[in-house]
Chain A
Amino acid sequence: RKEVEQDPGPFNVPEGATVAFNCTYSNSASQSFFWYRQDCRKEPKLLMSVYSSGNEDGRFTAQLNRASQYISLLIRDSKLSDSATYLCVVNGKNSGYALNFGKGTSLLVTP
């Protein structure tokens, strides 16, 4: 079983739509959780960290459920510029604190 699993998509949504991505992780000792965004042929960039209490940054909301080992990302009012691959990332002492990436979920926002 892969350590971090995501639905690869692609998710095709119209502008203005709300879209949600899910991610599960297998190692209960994982300590930190993130969503990264990667544009085509570019490096990954941190979108937001994910906290147990849930956190929001503008149109983006991230949630963590430690009991279910589940992470989510909600994007409201999608923009064309949101089109990218969204990578679920965990790290923890078990992996030497290095980031462990999911395969990513591809999002295409259309006019």
Chain B
Amino acid sequence: DTEVTQTPKHLVMGMTNKKSLKCEQHMGHRAMYWYKQKAKKPPELMFVYSYEKLSINESVPSRFSPECPNSSLLNLHLHALQPEDSALYLCASSQEVADLSYTFGSGTRLTVV
């Protein structure tokens, strides 16, 4: 299995909702990442997990809460989002944090209404 699987593929949520994005990989990768990509912009790093521990938080607002329950799973919990948070949320993994090769999931396209 050489894939990163993200669910759901599409999500529409209200500003008062609580939802979660899920990312899963079974490649034995020990580094996992969340990126946010707005239309016509490059992906921007949000969080880095290394060996299930949060190693980088790029000053992301607390309405985004990451969680790494085990080495294969990475979640992003969403609460009280704003319409400007609408974007493509990409999960990626790599063998180690310093590894050169990332595998990206196909993303969750989030719309906040």
Contact = CB atoms under 8 A, between A and B. Distances in A.
Contacts of A20: none
Contacts of A99: 33, 43, 45, 92, 102
A102 B104 contact: no
Interface residues of B, number: 23
B90 A43 contact: yes
A96 interface: yes
Given A43-B107, A44-B43, A97 B98 contact: yes
B105 A96 contact: no
Nearest to B42: A101
Given A96-B55, A98-B56, A103 B41 contact: yes
Contacts, number: 47
Interface string A68-82: 000000000000000
Question: Interface centre among B41, B45, B55, B109, by most A CB within 10 Å?
Answer: B45
Interface of A: 32, 34, 41-46, 49, 87, 91, 93, 95-104
Please provide the 8 A-B residue pairs with the shortest distance between their CB atoms, ordered closest to farther.
Answer: A101-B42, A43-B104, A97-B98, A96-B56, A97-B97, A98-B45, A43-B106, A103-B42
Given A46-B101, A93-B98, A96-B97, 8 more contacts: A41-B88, A43-B105, A96-B56, A99-B33, A102-B42, A103-B41, A103-B42, A104-B42
